[in-house]
Structures are given as structure tokens and as C-alpha cells.
Structure 1
Amino acid sequence: MAFLELDGLRCHVQRLAPRDGRPPAATVVLVHGLLTDSLASYYFTLAPALAAAGVDVLMYDQRGHGRSARPQTGYRLEHFVDDLDILLDRLQLPGPFHLLGNSFGGTVAFGLAARRPEEVLSILAIESEPATPVWAAKLDRMLRRAEEQLPREETLAWVSEQHGSHTARLARSAARLLAETSLARDIPASRLPTEAELRTIRCPVLAVYGTESDLADQAAWLDTLLPSCRSTFVPGQEHSVLVETPDVVRELTLSWLRQNGAELRGPTTDERYAGRSAEPQGSVR
């Protein structure tokens, strides 16, 4: 565990080096989603498998989340992108690197790729989308609804009954985040990249959707918008693809890295995950 100061923000960072001690086959930066999410969602699902395959893995808690600081203000998308930009400089991360973003984390990844196109080898976006006016309006509705409903005991009781006590604790923490900060108002007011700026993202992009997710309908649009984007779908899943089907995401990620030049190594899938259990995590777009 490590903490770094990013222009006044105390940021919790975790890094997993290749387990065999050899030079990394690739460098992957993992970016998590909003509200109930943190780097733990990767630590218990994807990160150990990547390290076992010879990957240098960087993950961090975004501002307001996990063990990072929770300022009262400063939650526009550009602040989240700034944090990642500064973190990469502070760590002097050897590039170029791959970005993997879950939900809102994918939106941050698209923002960084537009800012640093020469340093991003590829993007794998799980249930995510670039920031657009439609995205901002949707986030506005979702965050206002969460701000209203999450503090209610009946809501938390329903979450506990349907998804377990751990998820209910995450929901309670999300309610505090919304109550104590300007996040719900800042994100819809973010500076949005223009379509021309988004089209500068020319690295390969793999967009992963659940077939039952409302985001699946945007696949054709994103494939058209980004020059090197293709989409894949996980059957029967809604938004929580990473949490509900971690094995599928692991294999998609490892295959994607190989397709984009990473000479991965390490044990077989069965050896990697034998005896490993994951505590469920959640996220909100």
C-alpha cells in the first residue's frame, strides 16, 4: 500500500509487479467506477491474474473513493483525468501502457487517451462510454436519484436483502460521499470532449457490454466514432460484468493484451485461480 500527494490530493495507490521478477510483458493501468467502487474490485478479480501473466499492474482509488482523500469539491470529469495524468507523471510510469476502465473508469480512460494519445497502447472499456452530452444528462439523472434514495433505510434494507450486507455497506458509504461532496452536481457539469477530440483516440479499443445492459445499444455508434474500436458482449449480463463474470473478464483481458503485442507468461488459468475467492464489489456508471 502507498499514498501519494497529487497536487494536494492524498491518493491511495497499489502496484503489482510481475510475480516472476522478470521485466514486465506489458503495463496496465486499472481505473474503477463511481460511488460504490474502488481499486478493491480489481484487486479481488483481475489484478492478480495480470501480475501472474507478467504484467506490471497499477491501480488506485479515485478521489473520494476507497482510501483516497475525499475533498468537498472538485469532482468534474476533468479533475479525475487530471489525477490520473499527474499520477502517471509522479510514478514515471514506463510507457506506453494499456488502460482498462470499468464503468466511469472507462470514461476517465477515454479522457486520458484523448490527452495522451501517443502513450496509450490500447483501451479495454467495460460497460463504459466516452463523455458526451447524452452521458452527462444520464449521469445527472442517476446521481440525483442516488442522492435521494441511498440515504433511506428502506433502500439500504432492500440492497442488503437483494445483494448482501457487504454491498449494503458500500451503498451506505456512497450515500455519505454524495452527502458530503459536490460530486452529484460536478460530474454533469464536466467539460465534455468534442467529437473531434474523441476521434483522436486512434489506439485499439475493446468495448465490453452485458447483453442485457442499456449501454449495449451504443456499440454500433462507438464502433463508428472510434477508428479502431470493436465491441464484444457477455451473455445474460447487465452492468456489473466485472463483478458477476470475473473469469470472462480475465480471459478477455489476457487475450486482448496478447492481440496488442504483450508476450504474456505464467501459469494456466486453472493454476491462477485455484483456491482464490473474491469479495463482491459494485459500481455505478
Structure 2
Amino acid sequence: MAIVDTGDVRLHVQRLAAARPTASGATAVPDATVVLLHGLLTDSLASYYFTVAPAFAAAGLDVIMYDHRGHGRSGRPERGYTLGAFVDDLDTLLDRLHVRTPVHLVGNSYGGTVAFGYALRRPERVASMVVIESEPATPPWAAKLAGLLERVRHEMSANEAAALDWIATHHGGHTARLAKSAGRLVRDTTLAQDIPASAVLDDDDLGAIRCPVLALYGADSDLAVQAPRMRSLLPHCETESLPGHQHSVLVEAPGRVRDLVLYWVGRHSRPVAARAVRAR
């Protein structure tokens, strides 16, 4: 575990070194760095640590994952939660970690939204992106997040005990503890106001994203309708639908996510990474 001070917030970072090549044929995707960006409120880097991150390192990737501001073991400032602040954190973190080559961004849910913002801000630092159950920051996205965050704030302020009891009964004690922390984040910081007020993107902005993008969606998810839009707007975008899944693709189908990401990174890394693991 490491704590990186960006000058604005202290970020909890985990880094997994790439496995060393073996005499029989080395690793699957050597000489590439992947940065894993988690979702909002109840999520943290743990969702990667206990699913795909170790497999990425074993395949030869240098893995960087961190808790967003306000989440996990990172600092929780009272203010400063616009999407731009999350993008700033990523940029400064790569500087602090002395990452000089373009990285592959993997963003789950809100983490994908951060990835889109970063690819526009610093295109020279992004080799490719994989977004999982995610969408860019557009006006409909901002309206949806405003409603979601206000609902969380209201439910966790009006009758927190009843809400947590219901969550514990239907989803277990661990989820209830995560919900309690998320409720405090929404209630005690400006996150619920800042995120919907973030700068949004139009179609021309999305068309300016030149790096290759792979967008993964649960076939039964509300976000699955984003697939044709992403293919039409992003110059170099492919999409993949995972049957039988909704929003929790990362934790429900980690093997499939692993294979798709390794194949994608292998395709879009330097020539030495030609022996990529192909998705099944």
C-alpha cells in the first residue's frame, strides 16, 4: 500500500508489478501499463484487486489502481468533486509515479467516465481505453447523476437506519457497510452537487477521442443502449455485450473481462506485446 499526495488530496494507491518473463515464452502482454479506475460511492480499488488485477500482473502488465478522492482509504475533502477534479487526480498521480509512457485505462462505471475525460484532456498519455458499463459525461448523464445522488442523499439522511437495515437484509452486511460510507460521502461533502455540475461533452468532443476504445456492457443493463451510440461517435470503438449480466459485469464475469482486456491491450501495445491473450 502507498499513499500519494497530489497536493490537493492523499490518494491510496496499489501497484502490482508485471510478472517477469519465463524461459518458455514470457508473459502475455509485456511492457504495458494499465490503470484501473473504479466506480462511484460504494466502489473502491478492491473491486479490481479481488477480481482481475492479479491476472493482469501475471500476464505481464504493470498494474496501477487507486481509490478515488472520497473513496476507500483515500482522503475525503469536504469540497472538490467535479469530474475535472477526478481527472486532475489521475494526471497528477501518473506524474508522481513517474509513468512516462502512454497507459491503457480500464474504467468501471464512473471510472470509465473519468477515463473519457482524461483521454480528451491528455490524449498523448492514453494508449487505449476499456470502459465497463460506463458512459461519457453528457447532459443526460449529468441529469441522471443528479437524480441518483439526490436520492441517495435523501434516503441516507431521512431514515438512514431503516435504509441500511433493508440493504443488509436484501444484500448482506458488507454491502450495508459500503452504503453507510457512501451515504456519509454524499451527505458530508459537496460531491452530490459537484458531479452533476461538471463540464459535459457534446458529440464533437466525443469524436475527438482518437485512442482505441472497447466498451463492455451487460446485455441486460440499462446502459446497453449506449453501444451503437459509442460506435457511431467514437472514431475507433468496438463494443461487446455480455449476455445474462446487468451493471455488475466486473464482479460477476471477471474471467470474461480479464480475457477481453488482455486481448485489447495486446492489440494496442508495442510490437513486443504481439502474443496477446485472445478473448474466448
* TM-score, scaled to structure 2: 0.91
Separation in structure 2 between the aligned mates of residue 98 and residue 161 of structure 1, nearest angstrom: 39
Q: Tell me whether 1:113 sits opposite 2:119 in the alignment.
A: yes
SS of 1:231's partner is strand
Q: Tell me whether 1:187 sits opposite 2:177 in the alignment.
A: no
Where do 1:59-208 residues align within 5 Å? 59-151=65-157, 152-208=160-216
**Which portions of structure 1, spanning 4 or more consecutive aligned residues, are displaced by more than 3 angstroms?**
21-24, 264-267
Match of 2:42 among 23, 36, 39: 36
Q: Which runs of 5+ in 1 are unaligned?
A: 270-285
Root-mean-square deviation (CA), in Å?
Answer: 2.0
* TM-score, scaled to structure 1: 0.89
The residue number in structure 1 matching 2:6 is 6
Of the structure 1 ranges 86-95 and 149-158, higher mean CA displacement relative to structure 2 is found in 149-158
Q: Tell me whether 1:212 sits opposite 2:220 in the alignment.
A: yes
Of the structure 1 ranges 194-203 and 46-55, higher mean CA displacement relative to structure 2 is found in 194-203
Of the structure 1 ranges 3-12 and 131-140, higher mean CA displacement relative to structure 2 is found in 3-12
Separation in structure 2 between the aligned mates of residue 135 and residue 122 of structure 1, nearest angstrom: 23
Where do 1:201-280 residues align within 5 Å? 201-261=209-269, 263=273
How many residues align? The count is 268
- The alignment-based identity, stated in percent, is 58
Go from structure 1 to structure 2 and tell me whether the alpha carbon gap of 1:182 and 1:264 turns closer, same or farther (over 3 Å shift): farther
SS of 2:211's partner is coil
Shift of 1:25: 2.7
1:260 partner amino acid: H
Separation in structure 1 between the aligned mates of residue 274 and residue 155 of structure 2, nearest angstrom: 45
Is the 8 Å Cα contact of residues 117 and 200 (structure 1) preserved in structure 2? no
Shift of 1:179: 1.2
Separation in structure 2 between the aligned mates of residue 202 and residue 250 of structure 1, nearest angstrom: 24
Separation in structure 2 between the aligned mates of residue 89 and residue 243 of structure 1, nearest angstrom: 30
Shift of 1:264: 7.5
CA deviations on 1:164-211 (whole Å, 9 max, x unpaired) are 111111011101111110101110000123432222211111100011
Is the 8 Å Cα contact of residues 103 and 128 (structure 1) preserved in structure 2? yes
1:253 partner amino acid: V
1:4 partner amino acid: V
Is the 8 Å Cα contact of residues 167 and 176 (structure 2) preserved in structure 1? yes
Shift of 1:266: 11
Of the structure 1 ranges 100-109 and 256-265, higher mean CA displacement relative to structure 2 is found in 256-265
Of the structure 1 ranges 148-157 and 137-146, higher mean CA displacement relative to structure 2 is found in 148-157
The residue number in structure 2 matching 1:277 is none
Q: Which runs of 5+ in 2 are unaligned?
A: none
SS of 2:13's partner is strand
Shift of 1:119: 2.0
2:237 partner amino acid: C
Separation in structure 2 between the aligned mates of residue 97 and residue 124 of structure 1, nearest angstrom: 11
SS of 2:196's partner is helix
Is the 8 Å Cα contact of residues 54 and 264 (structure 1) preserved in structure 2? no
CA deviations on 1:126-171 (whole Å, 9 max, x unpaired) are 0001100010000001111111124522222222222211111101
